[in-house]
Structure 1
């Protein structure tokens, strides 16, 4: 800046011309040329010196820039974590824990069947997940989660559903089969919710999904309630086997962990909308450990079938 100021001073102070006599015109011209020549000599070395000063003493970047960048990255990470926490807090009250029980045959006709404690009066046959479809107590899950109840001929199978109301108060009820569709691995349970206000899930769409977008699975793997796993949509339009030996087409592939007990739980997007029903995973042979290749039934398929199961108890394909 000092160098620039000196240059400005030179340019802003020209030599004031005087009226020369005819005899001194030539001399004055030479002096004027000399003055200009000296000026150019002065400007030239000054510019060189300025360049050398700039090279020898480069202007350092402000140390606050790196700090601001680090703070910005930290803030973005915090926002991402806060978003995941918020999604779980908003959606988890709509997710239920399902236990398949086989009661003691001596208690088959007991009036206290819905309140049985499986530790003493019943055996746990399996666990799974589901989600609240509406405020009337309809629960959507996988068919294979409640298959034993559907096919039971002994009258000893029961389904116990653990859920929470809109205020977060937990309670449990016996789940009754309303309808099921093995072709799409879907089933609907009904629980008595008198005195409780439920919080149904928010339904999204699956036809506009893109590979790479974030997704989250909420369920009860291995009986651990309210578990959240995260990942991305890994693939679309997959084909997976159904319980009746057919194929479920259009399934969503995800790397969000889905293990035993996650079945029937919701797969949600970054807005908290349900985009699928977690249903299957490939496991490493002989280990039972998830390979990271997991599948969910697309919510568009679920929305086409569940209303028929609620109203008629049987799938659309069986009625028309």
Structure 2
């Protein structure tokens, strides 16, 4: 399955040595005067400060030979971060907020969701596990990003949830569905850190920044599915249909004789993939105002009764409601009439074929 997404900004996995070399004497540690000044101020009514104080001991620096990023305590023996932070490393160095270091072993990675789990030898008593939110993430809700941008440890930036149900690039060439967008500042080194609600729960695992006031994270529902399996087995399998498709725009609807734009037009079907012999791809095109538009393929309208209005609808359902081997029912539009077909989902390959 593929669809059009913005290019990935892979700037979030960096080492701190070059940055610190150019900012002589700036270690990111608070001065004694600053600490004393902060202790004199009353922050009891500041929810961002409260979230930071309750979270910071559970946020760590993750360092490998390739660079550094952020992570957080998931349980008493595991740290969660991004797969692109650990890269191909088998072990990492972990630094806690008060300066203690420990060694970590990478026990599981999933490049499709850009999540990784590290087993740590020792965890300070103050570094308690962080929990993911249980309910829905709402656009406009306040959040705090905590991490180590440019290796300045213990940094907090505040903002709101700017969008939900985003599709963002993964390191494999596929997309990460159900992603969270925020305007909280996200910079190199924030990768793998928590995006916290003001209630003190993780909304998303920070993944990337795409420009001014534009950051993204892996959603709590997807992380809750992937992380336990990474701990148990070291990997996670994602559902796969083996199709590429296009959102049905007004122009595509007109070219295909549809009364209104709806659903996803099947553009290609992967040979020997789950959809082969089940879905019919578009094999022709029509030029409208100088643009080539696909015509003649099946239009996917619903999956197990869930209406498919956008590509995000399909990606979210597959990621959060299905597993490889499940048989799903697709409602499709074929040759002008609606019908239902069944498909057994496969396992997503390691890389997207080009």
Cα distance 1:85–1:234, how it changes in 2: closer, same or farther (>3 A)? same
Extract structure 1 runs of 4+ deviating beyond 3 A: 78-81, 194-198, 316-320
Q: Distance in 1 between matches of 2:181 and 2:172?
A: 21
Are the aligned partners of 2:57 and 2:126 in contact in 1 as well (CA < 8 Å)?
no
Structure number with larger C-alpha Rg: 1
Is 1:88 the counterpart of 2:52? The answer is: yes
Are the aligned partners of 2:70 and 2:191 in contact in 1 as well (CA < 8 Å)?
yes
Are the aligned partners of 1:266 and 1:278 in contact in 2 as well (CA < 8 Å)?
yes
For 2:308, the equivalent position in structure 1 comes to none
For 1:75, the equivalent position in structure 2 comes to none
Report 1:26-175 matches (<5 A): 82-101=46-65, 125-135=66-76, 137-149=77-89, 158-163=91-96, 170-175=99-104
- 1:239 positional shift: 0.7
**Structure with more of its chain in strand, by fraction:** 2
- 1:96 positional shift: 0.7
Are the aligned partners of 2:143 and 2:161 in contact in 1 as well (CA < 8 Å)?
yes
Are the aligned partners of 2:58 and 2:126 in contact in 1 as well (CA < 8 Å)?
no
For 1:308, the equivalent position in structure 2 comes to 229
- 1:148 positional shift: 3.3
For 1:6, the equivalent position in structure 2 comes to none
Is 1:230 the counterpart of 2:151? The answer is: no
For 2:21, the equivalent position in structure 1 comes to none
Secondary structure class of the residue paired with 1:148: coil
Cα distance 1:228–1:198, how it changes in 2: closer, same or farther (>3 A)? closer
- 1:317 positional shift: 3.6
For 1:42, the equivalent position in structure 2 comes to none
For 2:142, the equivalent position in structure 1 comes to 214
Secondary structure class of the residue paired with 1:184: coil
TM-score (norm 2): 0.53
Match of 2:129 among 200, 203, 225: 200
Cα distance 1:80–1:240, how it changes in 2: closer, same or farther (>3 A)? farther
Q: Distance in 2 between matches of 1:306 and 1:281?
A: 22
- 1:196 positional shift: 5.0
Are the aligned partners of 1:279 and 1:296 in contact in 2 as well (CA < 8 Å)?
yes
Is 1:297 the counterpart of 2:218? The answer is: yes
Secondary structure class of the residue paired with 1:133: strand
Cα distance 1:314–1:172, how it changes in 2: closer, same or farther (>3 A)? same
Q: Distance in 1 between matches of 2:124 and 2:63?
A: 23
Secondary structure class of the residue paired with 1:300: helix
Q: Distance in 1 between matches of 2:44 and 2:122?
A: 35
Q: Distance in 1 between matches of 2:103 and 2:169?
A: 29
Secondary structure class of the residue paired with 1:229: strand
**Structure with more of its chain in helix, by fraction:** 1
- 1:197 positional shift: 6.5
Q: Distance in 1 between matches of 2:208 and 2:223?
A: 15
Are the aligned partners of 1:308 and 1:316 in contact in 2 as well (CA < 8 Å)?
no
Are the aligned partners of 1:100 and 1:159 in contact in 2 as well (CA < 8 Å)?
yes
Secondary structure class of the residue paired with 2:112: helix
- 1:79 positional shift: 6.9
Cα distance 1:81–1:174, how it changes in 2: closer, same or farther (>3 A)? same
Secondary structure class of the residue paired with 2:75: coil
Number of residue pairs aligned between Structure 1 and Structure 2 = 200
